[in-house]
Structure 1
């Protein structure tokens, strides 16, 4: 593990932070538990980081696992990915096949030949399930306009026009607009986002979670 190039994160007891150089990336890694135990690999979602797993990692480690979360390619403190301007970046380097390759390389660099489980949240759930697929994954062509009729034109024709968030995130202005939001745009967005995620709306019907049996 290399020395940290960033200030340390405020992590709960039991979690260590490190940087692991390998192939074209230097991974930012959080880990908990005994490295001699079976490995649980945690893949974060969007717009999240390995830091998002900090509260559950010690609990999983206490069940007898070595728990590792890392900032995926394009996120957080992991470095080495294509950082050129939007019109120059090679989107092929962010395909799910490349993200799976990153995970496999990291697992091997940690000294493991297999994992007990790959856990994924949101965007990370796709990367977590991809290694189990008979590989036929393709990446979307963001340079090709959507076919019509489609969700994009339908959203644009609403009384208050909307744009699908994934399509917006793939456009050139998105990063700069999120880095430098106008007025209270970011506050308004986050307030609505967390209101929705908190299931406090009138039309939400959350179901209680029933824990399963502990692992053998």
Structure 2
């Protein structure tokens, strides 16, 4: 599968597709720009759910024009990257945040680089990027996090030798919160809980309205194009506060994700006006997910919901995110606030070298597609501020 396998008009000029073999057990599909010149500093872009490397297509040429070698991989579980097991019943450890951070380190090495000049993570790619920088600041000396703020590393209890306080386990409040959401009128369900279930893949892979219509509604309702997105900070991680979010985040319990977004299907006029995701471009997503399904992408949510699998993050208990950090959200993106207190925790010390918190006007969740010009400006400015355009290959 090469650049030629993309339909006409779906891949910008100067962006190519290729496979890189033997990357932490994977054959990784990447889109890249700025590859024509040797010794360019590396910009690595990590997508989220349910995105692909393709989600960065508008941004790649802009960063390449600024002097970067820009690489966007299909992450483990997604798209044209292979070497992962596509099954609900496979062991989940390969999809852990730390192993996907290892994927990123291995990719940087395979590309012949010692470190990145720019690391960007969006949505579920944001925590992966954060832990890349925590674990290996020598390889990832700065990071830009998009849509998902970094709330900090889960901690071991401190100074308990004399008090005998019991050891806590991350995420143990999730079952209680699920029960409280279910008890609301009408009953609700947090999207991560739903996405971690066995049924979620089939629900989204073969929805009654068809995959094309489902993905169109999903991208639309989470974007700045849907005027119902009016995000704001939530006071606490309680059922009543979380229920203020739209039903693509806190779902109507008993309904599938396709059923929850179906009422927000955009009109033909709205589709035609959507220049950031044309129907041929949406067709790339439809083709890829029709082929693979969503299970590989959904494994991350099973990790997040299982305290046994997030406990390994406490390897870094006591650590903070200490590289220069930029946070970028969309003004119309609930992702900034979907984990109450996360943005405040990041600003209060979970990240110690914050260079800015930017909310892009007119953007919803899909920042790199909806407002790539503004995003490119912010990332280029961040890079110039840090002096990263200085040739970082071996």
TM-score band, normalised by the shorter chain? 0.7 to 0.9
Q: Which residue of 2 aligns with 1:115?
A: 116
Structure 1 position 77 matched with structure 2 position 104: no
Pairing of 1:1-216 with structure 2 (within 5 A): 4=1, 8-9=5-6, 10-22=10-22, 23-33=24-34, 34-83=37-86, 85-86=87-88, 88-134=89-135, 147=173, 150-183=176-209, 187=213, 191=217, 194-198=220-224, 200-201=227-228, 203-204=230-231, 206=331, 208=360, 214=381, 215=384
- Partners in 2 of 1:65 and 1:122 — Cα distance? 23
- Partners in 2 of 1:167 and 1:31 — Cα distance? 34
* C-alpha RMSD of matched pairs (Å): 3.1
Structure having the larger proportion of residues in helix:
2
Give how far 1:162 is off: 2.0
Runs of 5+ unmatched residues, structure 1 = 139-144
- Partners in 2 of 1:196 and 1:78 — Cα distance? 26
| 3-state SS of paired residue (1:14) | coil
- Partners in 2 of 1:44 and 1:197 — Cα distance? 16
Give how far 1:6 is off: 9.1
- Partners in 2 of 1:187 and 1:151 — Cα distance? 31
- Partners in 2 of 1:64 and 1:5 — Cα distance? 24
| 3-state SS of paired residue (1:89) | coil
Give how far 1:150 is off: 2.7
| 3-state SS of paired residue (1:20) | strand
Q: How many residues align?
A: 205
| Native 8 Å contact 2:108 2:114 kept in 1 | yes
For normalisation by structure 2, the TM-score amounts to 0.47
Give how far 1:202 is off: 7.0
- Partners in 2 of 1:188 and 1:197 — Cα distance? 14
Moved over 6 A (4+): 135-138
